[in-house]
Amino acid sequence: MTALVHRTRTVRGNDGAPVAGTALASGDVTAPLMGLAPQSFDLVIHCAASLEFDAPRDVLARVNVEGTRNALDFARAAGAGFLHVSTAYVCGTREGRIVEGPVPPGTRFTNNYEESKALAEALVEASGLPFAIARPSIVLGDHASGAIRDFPSLCNAFRLMARGKVSVFPVRAGATLNMVPIDHVAHGMVQLAENFAAAQGGWYHLVAAEPLPAAELAHGVTRVAHLPQVRVVDPATFDMAALPPAERQLLGRMLATFGPYFSRDPRFDDARFRQLTGLACPPADGPWLDRLIAYAIARGFLPQAPDSQRTSG
């Protein structure tokens, strides 16, 4: 196995340990052929992307769209199949049942990131290469332990609430978040790669069977005794002007980035993925969320209890 690296010159697992048996190649997805000399491979797994939801369109086009085009050109030169990692949230503003298939024409997106991933999918579909598209939802920590090497951007919403910087959480009644354990996604990607011949031509949702109510983000913080109480409010009736200026500014920034995810209810069908791989996602429920928060506290990403701070200091 060969891994493309750019700024980070190592490949590490979720536990932070180096991945054994991996050759490294230095390159850049924004360069033609990713800056690599043509060589022979069986399969290219393309997961490099900018994950900044509010990045300018031209930045996301260069990395997520043109970067995919460069990776496709490399796969074509290498005589390889192409396993593309996208996101379940290319569903855009659609709600209800979302099937495993191409993004429908006319789909409206809530941010530039979603749009860029949909455009990249279209390039893959039109490439003429043997392809499969994997669509994880919001990837968080290990199901059993909550462990994750790097905290994704959604965790900043936890952090603002846990630090008492934001005391209210505006969320539409019935809104859900599909958050999936990283181990389910990793196992799923391995199965798609190892069964690529059967996976060809398909779109696959790597998602939780049942999404969490979006309000659980606030409830999960509130369940921890030493963290602040967070009040869930209806965004249609809540008056942000009543908040102190500093909190109003922070909440406004949080909602500008993540607000659309706190106001919709997509239900991702993963029947095709389960049929091909035999994998079912373990419950992505309240207890799992509690393990995620406990791990983030233990790592110092979220505030620790005053007694533990004194003990560790």
Distances (CA, A) of 202 to 64, 144, 208: 20, 30, 19
pLDDT for position 309: 55
Tally of CB atoms within 10 A around 150: 8
Mean pLDDT of the chain: 94
For the stretch 4-20, what's the b/e string if a residue is b when 16 or more beta carbons lie within 10 angstroms of its beta carbon?
Answer: bbeeeeeeeeeeeeeee
Residue type (1 letter), 175: A
Residue 133 structure tokens: 């598209």
Q: For residues 177 and 261, is the Cβ–Cβ distance under 8 A?
A: yes
List all residues 6 or more positions away from 37 whose beta carbon is below 8 Å from its beta carbon: none
Sign for the CA dihedral angle at 192, 193, 198, 201 comes to positive
**For residue range 120-150, what is the model confidence (pLDDT) as tens digits?**
999 999 999 999 999 999 999 999 999 999 9
Confidence of residue 9 (pLDDT cuts 50, 70, 90): confident
Q: For residues 88 and 143, is the Cβ–Cβ distance under 8 A?
A: no
The pairing of beta strand 23-26 with beta strand 202-206: unpaired
Angstrom distance (rounded) from CA 234 to CA 182: 31
Radius of gyration of the chain (CA): 20
Tally of CB atoms within 10 A around 70: 22
Confidence of residue 38 (pLDDT cuts 50, 70, 90): confident
The whole-model pTM stands at 0.94
Residue 61 structure tokens: 């086009």
Name 180's bridge partners.
Answer: 139
Angstrom distance (rounded) from CA 177 to CA 189: 21
Residue 292 structure tokens: 């995620």
Q: Which of 9-23, 27-41, 86-100, 287-301 has the lowest mean pLDDT?
A: 9-23
Confidence of residue 205 (pLDDT cuts 50, 70, 90): very high
pLDDT for position 219: 96
Alpha helix segments (H runs only) across 163-223: 182-194, 196-199, 216-222
Angstrom distance (rounded) from CA 109 to CA 260: 10
Mind listing the domains of the chain with CATH numbers?
2-149+178-210+267-282 (3.40.50.720)
Give mean pLDDT, residues 27-41.
93
Residue 95 structure tokens: 């709600």
Find the helix or strand (DSSP H, E) in which 177 lies. Answer: strand 176-177
The tokens 């749009």 sit on which residue? 115
